[in-house]
Chains A and B, each alone.
Chain A
């Protein structure tokens, strides 16, 4: 198992290197000069610094390696310095700076990440909590009314784009009924009961939209996986032993059906994070998705590069998790 994990880990390194090169190349080969879009208000010396940081004029490979050095050596070292308080290496190493905010990109992301994680995380947990029982019961009573209703709703949840559902919810709950705020206020600090309720009210709509989409997807997988398992011999054996239906379903079938679903859940996390770009745009949540969009609109290349690469790292990481979790959960699979 350990060798398998190490081998998988080793395989993801070249994948990440390739992706980082692709992202670098995409930006580098793009027709417009990256500094030409910058606002005129940037002073000349900063502009020169930026060009130096980008290394414009060097050969392609040198630029790529320098970018890697900045990204994989300087930034982690800085992070270590901040965490441990020790001075490691040269303190004025070149950092990956945002062009529009003129602060290190890492700080910007650290500032924006909690909002995204909070909303997306809640919605994902809620989605899973809704999806699993629905999937189990739909499969148990296949072709029953609950199954039909469940598959209809999940088809809707799957097909209605989140940006449309968000707009409809704003029209109904914010404009017409005036129950919920349409803009997510991230400056809100939860200090007492009133502000807690306020936080709750502003989270309802974004969380509900993302949760519906996640629940729709996961419940389909759960149902399909349950149906695959229901007709196995072990289910008949469990029933013949005299186990109650509830026990057969939850202890035997649901547990076995969870295996592929766990993989799906793990693989879905990066997608959901990237998909939050849209939800954040609708409700004006200033999370990383909003950061990406505003960086794209203002041509802030370092932020865009870092965020895109971060999303790629997440995808690779959760792929790895999914594979390893599958091996750990299913003792029949041996990798050695």
Chain B
């Protein structure tokens, strides 16, 4: 095969286009900063979220406590850093699961004609599920059992991650199926098939590298969705237990002290919003950069 002169160009073009989308660049940078902060922040910060200091109750922001303290004098900034770890971890793992299922279903449905109809009917069926009520019901019914099996934190973590992953893969599957169907008609796939490449080899060498961009966009938007869902569950009191507070749980706990210390509700909410906003902007910028014809509408 001869090397075409513009082999390296698509990547450069992608970066050039991505950099033009200011929101996406800022969003990506901030998101990286947030991930970094919750990852190493708890090691570096002076306080831990468990330290009780009755003399320093309900303080406003100061140098020692940048976000103030709660009714037991615990540092809110430390709680935000530690809670962010759980929130971000739930978001990443649930997103990974959702993208993995969506990719598998989408590629299988696109590649194998006999699997197409059953898999797409399954996708339709999942799209017809009332997600939020179902999540609440499942968590109510299975929480105790899993808590006994895996411990308080691990049990609820597994349950929430599995449920979010299982109920959010459908869009990814649909988009990937369409991409794969379009790719299957391209010459290089026909050529590879003619050369005797097996279906699995075809998927690995030719299909997957070509749909990677779409998968990354799905993953970014999926992260935002998973974080919102987890926070909503925690806000409704059906998420993580109060001794391992995520941002959603901190917000929920903060709502009881709205008249006294509104900061306790505002900071966690602001962190959720900022993270989700960054992820959405990043996903949008990536998608626009990958597909120049696209405006900014979703789907």
Contact = CB atoms under 8 A, between A and B. Distances in A.
A15 B125 contact: yes
Given A15-B128, A161-B228, A224 B136 contact: no
B287 to A, nearest CB: 12
Interface stretch (A63-71, A246-254, A305-313): A305-313
Contacts of B258: 167, 170-171, 175
A118 interface: no
B145 interface: yes
A163 B297 contact: no
A164 interface: yes
Interface in A141-190: 151, 155-156, 158-161, 163-164, 167-168, 170-171, 175
Contacts of A314: 130
B273 to A, nearest CB: 5
Contacts of B295: 223-224, 227-228
A299 B129 contact: no
A292 to B, nearest CB: 6
Given A312-B128, A315-B129, A155 B281 contact: yes
B76 to A, nearest CB: 15
B91 to A, nearest CB: 13
Contacts of A155: 23, 277, 280-281, 284
Contacts of A164: 251, 269-270, 272-273
B249 to A, nearest CB: 12
A31 B142 contact: yes
Contacts, number: 141
B95 to A, nearest CB: 16
Interface string A272-308: 0011011001000000000011001101000010011
B140 A299 contact: yes
B166 to A, nearest CB: 12
Interface in A306-334: 307-308, 311-312, 314-316, 319
Question: Size range of the interface on B?
Answer: 35 or more
Interface stretch (B66-74, B107-115, B191-199, B229-237): B229-237
Contacts of A158: 280
B239 to A, nearest CB: 12
B148 to A, nearest CB: 9
A225 interface: yes
Contacts of A31: 141-142, 144-145
Contact of A308 (B23, B133, B298, B299): B133
A171 B136 contact: no
A270 interface: yes
A274 B133 contact: yes
Interface string B234-266: 011110000000001001001100110010011
A151 B296 contact: yes
B276 interface: yes
B132 interface: yes
Given A163-B248, A167-B265, A224-B297, 5 more contacts: A159-B276, A161-B269, A297-B237, A312-B130, A316-B128
Closest 6 CB pairs of A and B: A224-B297, A311-B130, A164-B269, A30-B141, A31-B145, A159-B277
13 contacts: A15-B125, A19-B128, A27-B141, A30-B145, A159-B277, A164-B270, A167-B251, A171-B258, A274-B130, A278-B235, A292-B133, A315-B129, A319-B128
